[in-house]
Structure 1
Amino acid sequence: MARVGYARVSTQDQCLDLQRDALRSAQCDKVFEDNGLSGADTKRPGLSKALRALNPGDTLVVWRLDRLGRSISHLIEVVGKLHSRGVEFQSLTEGIDTNSAGGRLVFHIMAAIAEFERTLISERTTAGIAAARARGQHHGRRPSLTDVQCEEAFRAIHIGGRSEADLAVQYQVHPRTLRRRIERMSLTWGH
């Protein structure tokens, strides 16, 4: 069972030595690194290599949680994927180790808090949209064409024989946008 370490610093002028030393002290067999990459970067070559090096029964070790994930939900996603592969996770600073019952408990509490936070955000968003609608406000992007313009374009194409490309130029929209709006309006009108 291998212990694979992962270290990351966000800027080139930061030093990986502290993390390297901690991971070596934690008896990591291999340590993969990303230097000068933010946790928000989706492409982290060192992390990708570390994840590929892990086999069932292995443990991914990080110096601190924020070295692995950009947010709690991202951490939970990564650790969930590790768990589904039979790989354990350890964060040295926070003392989280999914090899132990206590470590799994702490991680599940974090997951529950993250899920609770997502639910609250969703509920607040839904309530805010409903309240805005009740006040007559509509959120989101305004349609690029009004219903009147769609009806004019529909008639111009189907009765007047004009091309979608001509009308798209006239209404200053992409031909695909014009086509979609006309199709939507056609369904509503029953044409």
Structure 2
Amino acid sequence: MTNLIGYARVSTGDQSTDTQVEKLKAAGCVVIRQEKASGKSRDGRDELATVLEFVRPGDVLCVVKLDRLGRSTRDVLNLVFELEQKGASLRVLEPAIDTAGPMGKMVLTVLGMVAEMELGFIKERQRTGIEAAKAKGIYKGRPPTLDHAKVRQLHAEGVGATDIARQMDCSRGAVYKVINAQA
């Protein structure tokens, strides 16, 4: 008997996996693991690690969309390889892809490459937009979260970088950056 194991992921805490979970249940998944973590890498994706740990021969890992599994083609293909090594496969609901057959693997590879290319385009558009905004004087970067005046004051009073970092709840590197910027 084939077990369909669902995996739902969103990137940030203010997003919801509800829609993905509904689609996975409709596809026949009884077990559905959910998490809120970036798909950029596997770091911090404990639910995915759990699925990969307990997947058995004949099981099918099911995701709604390919980008829920990972952002890079290499990472997705490595996941598919791990599933295959355990006798399991991957099913993507939108668009319908199943790695149980050779055609599914080929389509998955192409879609993964397209998704990675699309991410590159997004980053390039973002970079271009930021450069244009900087040229117009609109974009000033992220507002400082560290009180630079307070750091400089503590430093002038003879407080060391480590103690300043503790008091200001920041890294020593951030303290040195402020101190060296005034020099």
Please, what TM-score do these two structures have when normalized by structure 1? 0.55
* Equivalence for 2:106: 105
Q: Is the radius of gyration larger for structure 1 or structure 2?
A: 1
* Equivalence for 2:68: 74
Matched-pair contact (CA < 8 Å) for 2:5–2:60: yes
Shift of 1:179: 6.1
Q: How many residues align?
A: 155
Identity of aligned residues (%): 17
Task: Give structure 1 stretches of 5+ with no counterpart.
Answer: 21-30
Please, what TM-score do these two structures have when normalized by structure 2? 0.57
Q: 1:174 to 1:91 in 2, by over 3 A?
A: same
Q: Please, what is the CA RMSD of the aligned residues? A: 4.4
Matched-pair contact (CA < 8 Å) for 1:89–1:99: yes
Matched-pair contact (CA < 8 Å) for 1:59–1:90: no
* Equivalence for 1:89: 89
Shift of 1:113: 1.8
Matched-pair contact (CA < 8 Å) for 2:77–2:109: no
Shift of 1:119: 0.5
Task: Give structure 2 stretches of 5+ with no counterpart.
Answer: 9-17, 38-44
* Equivalence for 1:175: 168
| Structural mapping, 1:24-103, within 5 Å | 33-34=31-32, 50-54=51-55, 58-61=57-60, 65-66=63-64, 71-76=65-70, 77=75, 80-84=78-82, 86-87=85-86, 88-91=88-91, 96-103=97-104
